[in-house]
Structure 1
Amino acid sequence: MKRFLLIVLVIIIAVFTTGFFLPKEKTVTQTLNATIPFDGISRAIVNKNQWQNWWPGKVVNDSTVSYQEKDITINLLLLNGFKATVKDGSNWVFLDFQSAATYNAETALTLTTTISLSSNPFLKVFQYMTVGSSLKKWESLLQSLKTNFSDIQKIYGFDIQLGKVPNSSYISAQQNYDHAPTNEELYRLIDEVKNYIAGENAKVMNDPILNIVKESDKAYTAMVAVATDRDLPGKGRFMLKQMMLGNLVVAKVTGGPAIIEKCRQAVQFYVSDYRKVSPAIAFERLISNRLTTDSTQWVTTINYPVFQ
């Protein structure tokens, strides 16, 4: 009996000693690379209205999100990440997420997970032996963040793709207005171009493209162009435009002027973030006829010619 009590006492002393000398916290740092430039990811982090697009869980409010049914409090929002706390079982977990630019238009995502342990030596030993399952949960958070931060649509809000300029020969026409041109005025200009192409016994090869420049509240310039099957001579207001069959950043959008403008800005961000150089101005391609389609159903592509 005395031997048994002695063994128990030795075990208690060993556990106490081990717990006493164990660190007060367990910290693990992991890094994964996302395939989107830092500027795009930073913009998504700073704008709390975008969190619902990329956070791999539920956005509860401006300072609280959830992941695997655990509420996480965002204590500090930074340009490149955030610091947060979460109660996981009996442990307090501190999350320090940071992003940093790397190379090849990638971003390093680093999550430092710190689990605070009890000051009670016996409880600390138990916690230290069981923190593995908690750490795996936060490892999966970083993997989910990497997946979402590598998704163009989640970060930019639109499915932006790289493509090729489909047509090289265009006939264009330009018109100045003292007001924002109406759809009726724009399609009247487009029809004039199409009629000129038909008069030259040529074929229309694609949907019309459009660019409007606002000089002031009373000065707008609209340029429309229609692709043809061959180069045609310029005549009067109708000009031949030859587009280089190069690379194109393109995004399709469905909706009216507000969502089209939002898509245009997203494409501009994309071009800037990926450090692409453009040889020409961006333009809209009018996929659906805006005169016969409700504005909520307009289909448009935003196109941005780039060198690479």
Structure 2
Amino acid sequence: MKKIILVILAIVLIITTGIYIIIPSSLQITSQVVIDASDVIASKFLIRENGWDKWWPGTKLNDNRFSFNKLQFDIDKITNSAVNLSFQQNGLKFGSSITYMSSADGMVRVTWYAQTKSSNNPVQRIADYMEARHIEEQNTRILLHLKSFLENIKNAYGYNIYISKVKDPVLLTSTTTFNSYPDMQHIYKIILGLREQAKTQGALETNFPMLNVNVNDEKQFETSLAIPINKVINTTGNSFINQMVPGGNLLVADVNGGPNTIKDAFAQVKVFMKDHRLISPAMPFESLITDRLAEPDTSKWKTKIYYPIF
């Protein structure tokens, strides 16, 4: 009988010792994803206070507290390279951090590291270990949602940005300099003149008018306007034919809104170009889909931004 008891005690001791060896007192969990996005985009949504509102898959409880599948996460501190969070589940209190790092191939690696102390009780230590593994799965799901969000171009940059081809290579163009940003009356007066010039020579307008406004060194507004036409014609006055390469690449952004929205879209397209190592050999332009003279409500304006690229 004593031998049986001793054997049982020995087995219990071996199992208990094994638990302490296999499951350390400090439980660490790591979740990681590689995202096809730049570190600039990752920082935009990770370390900015209003960024989490846009991608978090669960519920925002207040400015610094978020929940996901019954887990509550508190943002304790945000730095230039990391977000420190704390959370607890079934008596386990975790300290954690989310960091990001760009890779050589233009992607970004996001890592969520968390740590907690497990119980000294061997049975509870097993339960703590299982709970930690479950939380690790939850954290991975959250990061996978972030990956899906950031790899959507419109989510990442705020606009639908894509590559198209030059379909209207012949542009009847006019350039005028103004002392201030030209109003719609001046813009559409020039467009009307280009249309009349094309019509007199039997040329057809093939797409919407195009606009580029650039501020020169003298703080003047150099305004280029063009209409795509179906053939080369003789020009008069300050108009000229500008020809693009047929089938050349254009980076396009769809924009709904007025001047401030269009300005922001231009900025985001530039970020996109930098992130994807694209170079523009020529000036960008706006395609005026909405007749801005006829539609005074700028929120209803529809515009396409075009950047020639290679």
If the length of structure 2 is used for normalisation, what is the TM-score? Answer: 0.87
What is the identity, as a one-letter code, of the residue corresponding to 2:266?
A: R
TM-aligned CA deviation for residue 11 of structure 1: 7.4
Partner Cα separation in structure 2 for residue 69 and residue 264 of structure 1: 41
Could you report, residue by residue, the CA deviation over 1:71-115 in whole angstroms, capped at 9, with x for unpaired residues? 212233243442312112322233332222224432222233434
2:279 corresponds to: 277
CA contact (8 A) 2:31 2:139 kept: no
- Alpha-carbon displacement from aligned partner over 1:36-84 (angstroms, at most 9, x marks no partner): 2223223333332333222333344443333234221223324344231
Structure 1 90/34 Cα, relative in aligned 2: closer, same or farther at 3 Å?
same
Tell me what 2:288 maps to: 286
Change (3 A) 1:187 1:166: same
Letter in structure 1 aligned against 2:226: A
The code of the aligned residue for 1:194 comes to: R
**Residue range with higher mean Cα deviation, 51-60 or 166-175:** 51-60
Determine the structure 1 residue equivalent to 2:239: 238
Question: What SS does the corresponding residue of 2:50 show, helix, strand or coil?
Answer: helix
- Structure 2: stretches of 5+ with no match in the other structure: none
Residues matched between the structures, number: 307
> Which stretch shifts more, 127-136 or 10-19?
10-19
1:1-308 alignment runs, 5 A limit: 17-18=17-18, 20-21=20-21, 22-215=23-216, 219-245=220-246, 246-293=248-295, 294-307=297-310
CA distance in 2, matches of 1:264, 1:117: 52
1:19, distance to aligned residue in structure 2 (A):
5.4
Aligned-pair Cα RMSD in Å: 2.7
Would you say the 8 A contact 1:40–1:270 is kept in 2?
A: no
Aligned-partner residue type, residue 301 of structure 2: W
Q: Deviation above 6 Å: which 4+ runs of structure 1?
A: 1-12
- Measure the CA separation in 2 of the matches of 1:296 and 1:216: 31
Structure 1 residues without counterparts, runs of 5 or longer = none
Paired with 1:12 and 1:180, the residues of 2 have a C-alpha distance of: 84
Matched to 2:304, the amino acid is: T
Give distance in 2, aligned partners of 1:135 and 1:112: 9
Provide closer, same or farther for how the CA distance between residues 132 and 218 of structure 1 changes in structure 2, counting only shifts above 3 A: closer
Q: 1:305 to 1:50 in 2, by over 3 A?
A: farther
Q: Compute the TM-score of the two structures, normalised by the length of structure 1.
A: 0.88
Is 1:45–1:79's contact at 8 Å kept on the other side of the alignment? Answer: no
Deviates more, 1:281-290 or 1:132-141: 132-141
